[in-house]
Amino acid sequence: MNSDAIKRFFVTLRDANPQPASELEYSSVFELLAAVLLSAQATDVGVNKATRRLFPVANTPAKIVALGVEGVEAYIRTIGLFRNKAKNLVATAQILLDQHGGQVPRSREALEALPGVGRKTANVVLNVAWGEPTCAVDTHIFRVGNRTGLAPGRTPYEVEMKLLARIPAEFAKDAHHWLILHGRYVCQARKPRCRACAVADCCDFDAKTDQA
DNA sequence: ATCCCGAGGG
DNA sequence: CCCTCTGGAT
């Protein structure tokens, strides 16, 4: 994809997604961190179901620690990887209390030091909570970056570096959400809906398998 | 490279 | 049945 196509790609995605936002439900930075931690290899719909049960009972580090691993598991059992996630969420909450005054830290280093929080989760918190121009490469963005030719790479980190270099500066804060929504609803993994795609004209993918 | 791991869709 | 879902730790 050349630079003209890249520009057109993002302008079109912007127009198609006037209200870019996460579809995870949260009402505080800690809830955001918890929801993103729970979202690994799980759908937003599934995570929201679990957090609607969990957050009314425990939505602060102190309450999560008090609930304990077994207690948290009881609320999130319907999500994949629930044992690891319950253990990580409780351990993360304990570290917030012990080392960060019960607050969610703002640096990448401190975020990635939390159990269950890697580069992708840290990027989401940095972007959504504090408006930093990060690009969290999840399964959707990895696929869209490669399939379209916008940011091909073997690893999420490679895709992220290319995106940071190619996303026009004025779109840096919102591009992450546009790409997620595009991947979720249009550039789908199994059956990409190329016929309904607004950016098909500047995409490298050969739409032989489109069945939309 | 492998494990974790349930719900939903095709 | 199979694949996919806002990954991270070992």
Q: Based on the domain organization, do A79 and A101 belong to the same domain?
A: yes
Candidates A98, A138, A173, A206; catalytic one:
A138
Last-in-domain residue among A105, A130, A155: A130
CATH number where A143 lies: 1.10.1670.10
Taking chain A (212 residues) in consecutive chunks of 10 residues, what is each chunk's mean pLDDT? 89 92 96 98 98 98 98 98 98 98 98 98 96 95 96 97 95 93 97 94 74 47
Positions of chain B reached by protein Cβ under 7 A: 4-8, 10
Q: Please tell me the distance from the alpha carbon of residue A1 to that of residue A209, in angstroms, as a whole number.
A: 21
Report whether A46 contacts A84 (CB < 8 A): no
Q: Is residue A13 within 8 Å of A198, Cβ to Cβ? A: yes
Which position has the token pair 């550039």?
Answer: A187
User: What whole-number distance in Å separates Cα of residue A10 and Cα of residue A24?
Assistant: 23
Predicted pLDDT at A211: 46
How many helices (H) and strands (E) in chain A? 10, 0
**Any known ligand binding at A197?**
yes
Mark whether A48 and A102 lie in a shared domain. Answer: yes
The whole-number pLDDT of residue A87 equals: 98
Report yes or no on A208 lying in a domain: no
Taking phi over 0 as left and psi of -120 to 50 as alpha, with beta for the rest, A131 belongs to left
Q: A65 to each of A28, A105, A134, A149, A185, how far by Cα in Å?
A: 17, 18, 30, 44, 37
How many Å apart are A159 CA and B2 C1'?
Answer: 23
Does residue A144 sit in the same domain as residue A107? no
**Domain end residue (candidates: A85, A115, A130):** A130
Q: Where is the domain boundary, A98, A130, A162?
A: A130
Count of domains for chain A? 2
| Interval A83-105: pLDDT, tens | 999 999 999 999 999 999 999 99
**DSSP readout, A67-102?**
HHHHHHHHHHTTSTTHHHHHHHHHHHHHHHHHHSTT
Segment holding A178, helix H or strand E: helix A175-185
What CATH number has the domain bearing residue A33? 1.10.340.30
Q: What is the pLDDT of residues A137-173, one digit of tens each?
A: 999 999 999 999 999 999 999 999 999 999 999 999 8
Give me the CA A162–C1' C2 separation in Å, rounded: 32
